[in-house]
Chain A
Amino acid sequence: MLDGILIGLTTAFSMQNIMFVIMGCLVGTFIGMLPGLGPMSAIALMIPIAASLDPSAGIILMAAVYYGAIFGGSTSSILINAPGVASTVATSFDGYPMAKSGKAGKALAIAAYSSFSGGVVAAFLLILTAPYLASVSLSFQSTDYFALMVLGLSAVAAFAGKGEVIKALLMTVFGLMLSTVGTDQTIGVPRFTLGMIDLVDGISFLLLVMATFALSEALMAILKKVDESKREEERKAAAELGSMAVTKEEVKEMAPVIGRSSILGFIIGVLPGAGATIASFLAYGTEQRIAGAKKGKLFGKGSVRGLSAPETANNAAATGSFVPLLTLGIPGSGTTAIMLGALIGYGIQPGPRLYIDQPDVFWSVIVSMWLGNIILLVLNLPLIPYIARVLAVPARFLLPLILFFSLIGVYFVSFNTFDIQLMVLFGLVATILRLLSFSLAPMILGFILGGMMEENLRRALLINNDSWAFLWERPLTLAILIIAVLCLFVPMLSPVFEKMRRKTKGTASAD
């Protein structure tokens, strides 16, 4: 293994390759910040360039662009509450409140440190466990994926504040309902299209998330008649007071979060089809539960843990998704599917033999992950103050620009003007729901997971000839479902446990 790493290092550390990493990180960050363009588009754009390079250099370039784009996506999610891809939705939960309270620089720095650590830890795990994990992930069947989606949904319990469980569940159901619009993915019949041809393809995730987060955020600001001058001051404060320094206490708080979330993220990422989104939501939910009553309350209001957990997990999951790609040749996500295409273009077929036949490729991918993460950190930290300046733009210019970028981010993907009208509608609905103090995060979660959950369940039922017995007969499925149920109910019962614990403690000390 050591000589493998050495091969990778010597390949990666040529002048040319380091230049590619730097360039890739910059271009990736820039593309990722543009609304609607995520890691997938960023990589797709690099293919023609990468195709003219030798395989190792091409892969290094693409990996760098990939990590850059993920970081860029977090940036827009933190600064203007516009998560361009599903995996950065959870980042906005605490990142945006933190930026709003004048700590934009710190929020971006925490995001950078977290994704860096997540990526590095996961790349290390990748080396240690790739061949073994490949065989485990291979044994995951539709029933297990269904259970995994249920586990993902159980994270809703974490978003729900005290006494808000019914509302959170109702919003989850609302999101699940929206996910049923469009062509049924199992049998191919249209559902809830209201006879409109534009709804046949369903509601795109990007559209929904842009409308409910970015559009409604800007609309709320427009609706609230805040004194312009006061607002100006606020924004100036946000842009300038934003110290990037992370205090010792915060580091202490982040370290265990990063440790846990990298491992969780990596494991989820290894499963084909689960990916960074579920990882980020699960990490967020898990941390909120672990944080305890006092710290848990800060979640959603700018908690360091709440920002660090999803950022770490989504980057770790992105790295984890290379396990099925490199060891089995199976792309677990859209991004890795594009990478697979590029690899095949070089005449490299990823699979069990890649490790043996072409160790230089295998190892240069791994080393390029480390390199990409390091360069990203070194390049982007100094840029943060400039990026954060976005917030200093006066509201009368910034708000229409946010509206424009969200509309165009969706339009430039589908090129269907109906989508703009649909966004206006969802923007209105989301704004009303927010004014009524309904949280939108459970809705998005339901929407993302709903389709996959239904598909996997129906597949499982088809395979098992309409018998539901797999739910309790397959140990893996059962185990995941039990964890999901615990996740859902333990937070509700925790006050009871707390009381009991106090009682026993009280009696113990009395003795």
Chain B
Amino acid sequence: MIKSLKVALAAGAVLFGAHTALQAAGHQVVEEIKFLVPGGAGGGWDGTARGTGEALTKAGLVGAASYENMSGGGGGKAIAHIIETKDESTLMVNSTPIVIRSLTGVFPQSFRDLTPIAGTIGDYGAIVVNKDSDIQDLAGLVAAYEADPSKVAVGGGSVAGGMDHLIAALVMKNAGADPTKVKYIPYDAGGKAMAGLLSGEIRGLATGFGEAVALARQDEVRILCVTSTERNDAMSEVPTCDEAGSKGTEFVNWRGFFGAPGMSEEKKATYIEAFEKMYDTPEWATVRDRNGWVDIYNPDADFVKFLEAQEEQIGSLMKELGFL
């Protein structure tokens, strides 16, 4: 009964706007973070910023967190804003599309115009087929593809030239097949692409590993490989794409944070310290598990190096496919 009363109070707080600042133990690293979300309320970026902010403040690592949404231009509006204001207490959330969109010219800026702080979470890509499919492993898919590419439609939850298309093309390329012939079928969301796979209109699917694992556990789909370098604990029987014959394939769909350009080294160090400490807190574990996120921590110089490598990887692939 006490539990339900507590919840009732929480719901009441939502309704009546009573807000109580939570004082938690632990020493504060950063006084205040203003999160800038390049999309509207309720999207993936919004959830990442609010979840991270919640964990940081509840764990006492950050004194106060506020959130400002600014959608428009596929994230370009917010990038222009943070460059213009140069506010050191603002952190912008972003993800793999910042690399893709600056390559295709949706916005003129790139991550180089910002101060990359850290990649915090991410997901690997996966190649999936229907459980009733005659294709048993990646080699089977590649064989069918090489026999007749027009008969192997591969779907994904992004536009052509978007992330899922790139994953499919990358896997094929590294397996020795022609990536430009991939018959990619775009869907507007991963869930709908999954429905397409189950309806039999596409034979394969490139998608996030997390989403694929959920359905594989229900025995609806078979995961052919995952784009990480090591097998994943969530489903260790799934081979990496490298093991399955697509040599050297690695792709991470990351989410992380950027600061304004010209940020001082000291300030940057405090943010990195806060993120680093966050991973060991129970508050972060709660938020992470609630959202099904995977820790992929990649701070500071490593993050810059990683971004450069990803830009190179995506850029050359997109050129090869004819998108640039």
Direct contact, A vs B (beta carbon within 8 Å)? yes
* 15 A-B contact pairs sorted by A residue (CB < 8 Å): A40-B42, A139-B199, A141-B196, A141-B199, A183-B74, A185-B186, A187-B161, A197-B72, A273-B192, A413-B41, A413-B42, A414-B72, A415-B41, A459-B186, A459-B196
The 4 closest A-B pairs by CB, nearest first: A351-B218, A197-B73, A188-B159, A415-B69
- B180-194, CB < 8 A from A: 183, 185-189, 191-192, 194
Given A198-B73, A345-B290, A351-B218, A49 and B11 touching (CB < 8 A)?
Answer: yes
* A15 and B68 alpha carbons, distance in the complex (Å): 39
- B7 & A345 in contact (Cβ 8 Å cutoff): no
Is chain A's interface secondary structure helix, strand, loop, or mixed overall?
helix
Encoded as 1 (CB less than 8 Å from any B CB) or 0, chain A from 183 to 196 comes to 11111101000000
Q: A197-B73, A198-B73, A463-B201 are in contact. List 18 more A-B contacts (CB 8 A).
A: A19-B8, A23-B8, A23-B11, A49-B10, A52-B10, A141-B200, A183-B106, A188-B159, A188-B162, A200-B74, A328-B195, A329-B218, A332-B191, A344-B214, A351-B215, A351-B217, A415-B40, A462-B183
Does A240 interact with chain B (Cβ within 8 Å)? no
Does B320 interact with chain A (Cβ within 8 Å)? no
A278 to chain B, nearest CB (A): 15
Does A243 interact with chain B (Cβ within 8 Å)? no
* A324 and B192 alpha carbons, distance in the complex (Å): 11
Among A44, A197, A455, the one with the most B-chain Cβ atoms within 10 Å of its Cβ is A197
* A273 and B199 alpha carbons, distance in the complex (Å): 13
Encoded as 1 (CB less than 8 Å from any B CB) or 0, chain A from 331 to 343 comes to 1100001001100
- B218 & A45 in contact (Cβ 8 Å cutoff): no
Chain B residues contacting A47 (CB-CB under 8 Å) are: 290
Binding site for A on B (CB under 8 A): 1, 4, 7-8, 10-11, 14-15, 40-42, 68-74, 76-77, 104, 106-107, 150, 153, 159-162, 183, 185-189, 191-192, 194-196, 198-202, 214-215, 217-220, 289-292, 323
Among B72, B104, B185, B214, contact of A416 (Cβ-Cβ < 8 Å): B72
Does A509 interact with chain B (Cβ within 8 Å)? no
Binding site for B on A (CB under 8 A): 15-16, 19-20, 23, 26-27, 30, 40-41, 44-45, 47, 49, 51-53, 138-142, 183-188, 190, 197-198, 200-201, 272-273, 324, 328-332, 337, 340-341, 344-345, 349, 351-353, 412-416, 418, 455, 459, 462-463, 465
**What's the count of A-B pairs with C-beta under 8 Å?**
153
Among B107, B186, B291, contact of A341 (Cβ-Cβ < 8 Å): B291
The residue on A at minimum CB distance from B54 is A48
Chain B residues contacting A459 (CB-CB under 8 Å) are: 185-187, 196
Chain B residues contacting A412 (CB-CB under 8 Å) are: 41
- B185 & A463 in contact (Cβ 8 Å cutoff): yes
Given A16-B4, A349-B218, A414 and B292 touching (CB < 8 A)?
Answer: no
* A139 and B199 alpha carbons, distance in the complex (Å): 5
* A30 and B196 alpha carbons, distance in the complex (Å): 37
* A419 and B214 alpha carbons, distance in the complex (Å): 38
Chain A residues contacting B159 (CB-CB under 8 Å) are: 183-188
Among A16, A273, A328, A414, contact of B71 (Cβ-Cβ < 8 Å): A414
The residue on A at minimum CB distance from B51 is A48
- B7 & A197 in contact (Cβ 8 Å cutoff): no
Chain A residues contacting B77 (CB-CB under 8 Å) are: 197-198, 416
Chain A residues contacting B76 (CB-CB under 8 Å) are: 197, 200
The residue on A at minimum CB distance from B192 is A273
- B14 & A49 in contact (Cβ 8 Å cutoff): yes
* A467 and B23 alpha carbons, distance in the complex (Å): 64
Among A30, A138, A459, A465, the one with the most B-chain Cβ atoms within 10 Å of its Cβ is A459
- B185 & A329 in contact (Cβ 8 Å cutoff): no
- A415 & B185 in contact (Cβ 8 Å cutoff): no
- B107 & A324 in contact (Cβ 8 Å cutoff): no
* A198 and B153 alpha carbons, distance in the complex (Å): 34
- A330 & B42 in contact (Cβ 8 Å cutoff): no
Chain B residues contacting A351 (CB-CB under 8 Å) are: 215, 217-218, 220
Chain A residues contacting B201 (CB-CB under 8 Å) are: 141-142, 463
Among B7, B11, B188, contact of A455 (Cβ-Cβ < 8 Å): B188
A11 to chain B, nearest CB (A): 14
A455 to chain B, nearest CB (A): 7
Given A349-B214, A351-B218, A415-B40, A331 and B191 touching (CB < 8 A)?
Answer: yes
Among B74, B186, B220, B290, contact of A328 (Cβ-Cβ < 8 Å): B220
Among B159, B183, B198, the one with the most A-chain Cβ atoms within 10 Å of its Cβ is B198
Chain A residues contacting B14 (CB-CB under 8 Å) are: 27, 45, 49
Chain B residues contacting A341 (CB-CB under 8 Å) are: 291-292
The residue on B at minimum CB distance from A271 is B195
* A52 and B9 alpha carbons, distance in the complex (Å): 13
- A27 & B187 in contact (Cβ 8 Å cutoff): no
Among A19, A45, A201, contact of B74 (Cβ-Cβ < 8 Å): A201
- A345 & B72 in contact (Cβ 8 Å cutoff): no
- B198 & A463 in contact (Cβ 8 Å cutoff): no
B239 to chain A, nearest CB (A): 22
Chain A residues contacting B4 (CB-CB under 8 Å) are: 15-16, 19-20
Chain A residues contacting B41 (CB-CB under 8 Å) are: 41, 412-413, 415
Among A49, A141, A418, contact of B7 (Cβ-Cβ < 8 Å): A49
B230 to chain A, nearest CB (A): 24
* A435 and B219 alpha carbons, distance in the complex (Å): 58
Chain A residues contacting B188 (CB-CB under 8 Å) are: 185, 455
Given A138-B199, A462-B183, A201 and B292 touching (CB < 8 A)?
Answer: no
Chain A residues contacting B162 (CB-CB under 8 Å) are: 188
- B73 & A337 in contact (Cβ 8 Å cutoff): no
- A188 & B161 in contact (Cβ 8 Å cutoff): yes
* A340 and B189 alpha carbons, distance in the complex (Å): 14
* A217 and B179 alpha carbons, distance in the complex (Å): 53
The residue on B at minimum CB distance from A54 is B3
- B160 & A188 in contact (Cβ 8 Å cutoff): yes
B59 to chain A, nearest CB (A): 16
B268 to chain A, nearest CB (A): 26
- A51 & B290 in contact (Cβ 8 Å cutoff): yes
Chain A residues contacting B68 (CB-CB under 8 Å) are: 415
Chain B residues contacting A142 (CB-CB under 8 Å) are: 196, 201
- A201 & B73 in contact (Cβ 8 Å cutoff): yes
